C-alpha cells in the first residue's frame, strides 16, 4: 500500500508533524507550529475521524499547551495518558519529557515532568509509549550513549503495596542506533 497524503484539514501549508494515533485509529494528536490559535511556538492539536474524514484540528489548550514549546505527542494505548516533549519551566533543562492524564471531565491534567530517571540537562525528545503501556522509548542527548540523540528504553516500576503512581525505572536500556 502506498502512502497517501492525509490532506486538509490535517495538512496545511504550515508545519505539522510528529503525530500519534489512538489505538482505535479514531483520534490523531500532532504537533503544529506557528499557528494563530497557538499558545507558543509549537502546540499539540487533535482531530477525530468520523469514518470518512478528519475533523478540523483543535488546539488541546492549557494546561498541556503553554507559551513554551510542546511537541512530539505519544498517546497511551488506553488513550488516558499523553506523553510529550516540552521546554516549559519545571524541567531539568532543554526539552524534557512530560505526561498529562485525561480527567473525568474530558480535560487534560496539569503536566507532570517524568523526573530525573529520564530527563537531564540535555534534550529528551520523541517519546513513544509501547502498546504494553509500560515501555517508553525516547531519544536523549543527556544520557550516556554512543552520540547525540541516542534511543533509550525505560520501563515503569510495578505498583508497590497499593501505591498507585508508577515511577519510571532508573535503569535505562541503550538502543544501538545513532543520529549524529
Lowest mean pLDDT among 44-48, 79-83, 156-160: 156-160
Q: Which residues contact 120 (CB under 8 A, 6 or more apart)?
A: 92, 93, 94, 140, 141, 142, 143
Instruction: Return phi, psi of residue 150, to 5°.
Output: -70, 155
Q: What is the pTM of this model?
A: 0.87
pLDDT, residue 50, reads 95
pLDDT, residue 171, reads 47
Lowest mean pLDDT among 6-15, 30-39, 57-66: 6-15
Across the chain, mean pLDDT equals: 86
Tell me: pLDDT of 175 over 70.
no
Joined together, the cell numbers standing for residue 119 give 530527563
pLDDT, residue 3, reads 82
Domains of the chain: 15-175 (2.120.10.30)
Q: Which residues of 30-41 are buried (b: 16+ CB within 10 A; e: fewer)?
A: bbbeebeebbbe
Tell me: pLDDT of 161 over 70.
no
Answer with the residue of higher pLDDT: 110 or 169: 110
C-alpha distances (whole Å) from 157 to each of 135, 136, 166, 178 are: 10, 12, 6, 27
Amino acid at each position: 500500500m502506498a502512502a497517501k497524503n492525509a490532506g486538509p484539514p490535517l495538512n496545511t501549508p504550515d508545519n505539522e508533524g510528529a503525530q500519534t494515533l489512538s489505538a482505535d485509529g479514531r483520534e490523531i494528536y500532532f504537533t503544529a507550529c506557528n499557528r494563530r490559535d497557538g499558545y507558543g511556538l509549537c502546540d499539540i492539536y487533535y482531530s477525530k475521524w468520523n469514518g470518512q474524514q478528519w475533523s478540523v484540528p483543535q488546539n488541546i489548550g492549557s494546561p498541556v499547551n503553554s507559551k513554551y514549546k510542546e511537541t512530539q505527542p505519544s498517546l497511551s494505548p488506553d488513550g488516558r495518558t499523553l506523553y510529550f516533549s516540552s521546554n516549559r519551566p519545571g524541567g531539568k533543562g532543554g526539552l524534557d519529557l512530560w505526561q498529562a492524564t485525561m480527567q473525568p471531565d474530558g480535560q487534560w491534567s496539569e503536566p507532570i515532568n517524568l523526573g530525573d530517571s529520564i530527563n537531564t540537562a540535555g534534550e529528551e525528545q520523541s517519546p513513544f509509549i509501547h502498546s504494553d503501556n509500560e515501555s517508553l522509548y525516547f531519544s536523549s542527548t543527556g544520557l550516556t550513549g554512543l552520540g547525540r540523540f541516542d534511543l533509550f528504553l525505560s520501563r515503569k516500576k510495578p505498583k508497590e503495596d497499593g501505591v498507585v503512581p508508577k515511577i519510571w525505572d532508573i535503569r535505562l536500556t541503550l538502543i544501538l542506533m545513532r543520529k549524529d
